Amino acid sequence: METMTAHGAVIPKLGFGVFRMSDAEVERVVPAALEAGFRHFDTAQIYQNEAALGRALEAANAKRTELFLTTKVWVDNYSRDRFAASVNESLEKLRTDYLDLLLLHWPGDKVSISDQIEMLNAVQEAGKTRFIGVSNQNVSQLKESIAVSKTPIVTNQVEAHTYLDQTRLVKAAQEAGVAITAYYGMADGAVPRDPILQEIGARYGKSAAQVGLRWLLQNGFVTLTKTAKPERVKENIDVFDFELSADNLAAISKLATRGGRLVSPPGLAPAWDA
């Protein structure tokens, strides 16, 4: 698996996410993901399947030192009496003593960025996570997080796919040495159905979904994939044996539209960058 390094964190470029998966789906698909070569797994407290992921990894005898585990603290736990306790609960559910990466899930509108980062720094200082990062932050929030954090912010995990232009955020992150992790890469099913991506994929013997993932990878994103079907796992990881041409990359980038953003919950999402 290819990796990306950000402030000392060596992150597998392709990760396996378990958003909107039941416990049964997680425990069924994770062994297939491990067998296919995935070692980067991404979950969150709000997904309510951390325990299922922990059970699945343990049952598969996955070596902890070979894994890169990420989870995210939910906004309801952004308080001094809940933050660290919630991380301890996540560790217990995941059956591990430490995380590789701990993220703030959403900025929200109730707790200041500086207070969020202070609590994140504290759990890192306590040895609960090797690296820290954020998720769903705009450029100004990311810059503030970087400025107030005692240790480096290694990633900002955000929605990213062929229909959403994240150029401004990517530029700011690159200037700070921060990796951008892409979620929702299939744009809620639009990518696999896209005729342009299907046509480009046919030239390489690949599916439109694989083209969408490859586009993200070649644009420098750490990329999260997802499937609840074990038989589809190999397709998700089989994206390192071809390279999109410059013309293909440009054509795909033109798919971005002003209405391309799909995930923006009120009270959680910030004012997005234009």
Question: Which residues are identified as catalytic?
Answer: 47
Non-local (6+) Cβ contacts of 21 within 8 A are: 29, 47, 49, 52, 226, 228
User: In 3-state terms, what secondary structure has residue 269?
Assistant: coil
Q: Which of 2, 8, 1, 12 is nearest to 152 (CA)?
A: 8
- Beta-strand relationship, 9-12 and 3-6: antiparallel
Distance CA 243, CA 158 (A): 24
Distance CA 91, CA 89 (A): 5
Looking at this protein, which amino acid is placed at residue 70? Answer: T
CB 29 within 8 A of CB 230: yes
CB contact at 8 A, 35 and 8: no
Q: Tell me the H-state helices in 65-112.
A: 83-94
Cβ neighbours, 10 Å, residue 44: 21
Torsion of CA 64, 216, 50, 79, to 10 degrees: 110
Q: How far apart are the first and last CA of the chain?
A: 34
